[in-house]
Amino acid sequence: MTAKSLFVTGTDTGIGKTHVSVQLLRGLAARGVRASGFKPVASGCMRDATGALRSEDALALRAASAVPLPDYASSNPCALEQPLSPHLAARLDGTEVKLGPLLAAYDALVAAHEVVVVEGVGGWAVPLSPRLMQADLARALGVPILLVVGVRLGCINHALLTTRAIAADGCRLLGWVANTIDVTLAQADAAIATIGEAIGEPCMVRFGQRAEGEAEVAAELARVVLKRL
């Protein structure tokens, strides 16, 4: 395994993990870094014209990767149809998520790239199978964790619980980014500062404040990530 990879998780589902991962990949590409996105497990996939399952998130990661990737499965080895927790979606699909194929796909990407941005599914404490938690995958990859905090009501609680869970699961927090979900949230800056003070780690960058500034934010995130990896 390579040290120059990271696992992107979030305080919940639908809080911007894919957006942040894509922006990070673009920031890395702008610095000339050969980087690839990787979505080991995806549920809620849609069928394309050939009937094959495809994840919107994985397709976005593929499009932002530095070089053309081989077949779709190289970036999303486990695609599940139902929009459910992976262990439930896999059961309905008549399969089970297993660690071996995920690690093999990751190793193949590592061999051809300088950085692999691994995007998790849902929040941190997600079961991939009755015997496999998402934390087991992150530990097996041996990479640090980038936490995406969805800035909305309740984000302080969610951020603190998630960072504690990451540490309890034996994984290292690389840092965290804020992604604005609710633009009307009162005292958003204060909430972000509170999270930083509570976990002893200030926010790396903040997404979602203005679309025209995303490239600059992505560039800064790429700079900080490369420094910390």
What residues are annotated to the active site?
A: 39
Three-state DSSP class for 226?
helix
Q: What are phi and psi of 165, to 5 degrees?
A: -65, -40
Phi, then psi, of 205 in degrees rounded to 5: -150, 170
Cα gap 86→75, rounded to integer Å = 17
Count of residues for the chain? 229
Give 171's DSSP letter: -
**216 by DSSP, 3-state: which?**
helix
Going by their DSSP bridges, the two strands 78-79 and 132-133 should be labelled as unpaired
Is residue 175 left, alpha or beta, with left meaning phi > 0 and alpha meaning psi from -120 to 50?
left
Report CA 5 to chain centroid distance, whole Å.
11
